Chains A and B, each alone.
Chain A
Amino acid sequence: MSHADLTLEGYSAAIMPPAFSIPAKKMAMWLFIIADSATFAACLVAYGYLRVADAHWPRPFHSITNVAIMTVILVTSSLTMLFGIDAAKAGDKAKAVRWTMITAAGGILFALLHIREWLGLIDEGMRLFQNPWGSALFGASFFSITGLHLLHVTGGVIALIVVGIRYKGGRYNSDDLEITGLYWHFVDLVWMFVVPLVYLLNLSH
């Protein structure tokens, strides 16, 4: 079989360079991130319209302390992920695994703080379609946006632990750790929009 035949028959991976000169796995993660951005953007844009249109939108958040701590934890976990990837690229496996697990621990702490906050709001009477403060849509939009984000954090923590362990065992390499890191940074990036739109706009003065 000639070179031209291989190309015509679709065995392009062996002959043609990958799209944008990046590994296929990384490209797949970027495509996932673009698609997931659209999902979150859909929720946040719809929420933004509802929030601005209703003058009596509930403002149940009395303090920014909890959300500030959660933000610092998540942004710091992005930094520790970068340290882990750098260590992996430098060939320091033990250090890479340590930073990856620190990142996962940050994610777990974030999730626990998030759940504690949810339980506090539920105690105050907030439900999916009702709350004591005003528009019934507040509960639906709050729980769906923060819930979707929390689901991503949980998935990210599981992915970090699994990839970290498999990287330590030699089944995965530094590229796999970097690709998992891309996902983790995306989770952090989404939080940068959730905090101002869902929490800070609804702060009681």
Chain B
Amino acid sequence: MTKDRLRSLSYNELSHIADKGNINVLQDMDKESLVSVIFEALEEERLDREGNNNLTIQVEAKKFAVSQDQELFLDFGDNVELPDRYQETRLVLMLRDPSWVYCYWDIEDRVLDELKENREYSGLILRVTELAAPDWGNDSSVDWFDIPIQFGDLRRYINLPSEDTFYGIEIFALLGEKEALIVRSNIIESSRDYVAQFPGKENTNRDLLIKLSGSSTDIGSFPGTEYLETDSPQRILTIAGEVEKR
């Protein structure tokens, strides 16, 4: 983003950008002050965004950096809008990382209308079930918890209590004392964020090799990369010391 680019826009366009970006501006601000406020807010947002990405993503993003003013394309004329829903009863579960899943759903209007007309209806819940196996068999449920949802809700991120297990979700309508199953999701296998235990006797070489490989998932700040032309990565020196001692 450049101040010049912002200056080239009208006061109304600048106000529109401020509105769109939730940037706090004073009502009687002059144009130059408005440009400064927007510039600083957008720069701060850009730095935050870039700083939140690891090296790979930061560099990959450079492929698409053909201008510093890209973010300001206000409209394209032939904007396409997609439907919010497809009028189907469906629940999809997606694993985002070892601790979080994303799910989206839709319930046909016909079903929703029936619920609305049911006097006993008191709400919808999303039930998250940990399963012992990748099926919905009667004995499969290990644990579960409920999240209340509204008619208008269509998606949610859910924090998983356990790693390396199976999960499925269901939507139930609460009807008096009863629960009516509306839709059931696919089952996902959650992942693990740790090195598996070695069942045999301790193997120092293996442990060292895993340490050298880097067991952290924080790829962007992996130790040992902060070295100048003649220095060896710090982690190699440390482990080299351990190897020499043996």
Q: Do A and B bind each other?
A: no
B residues in contact (CB < 8 Å) with A: none
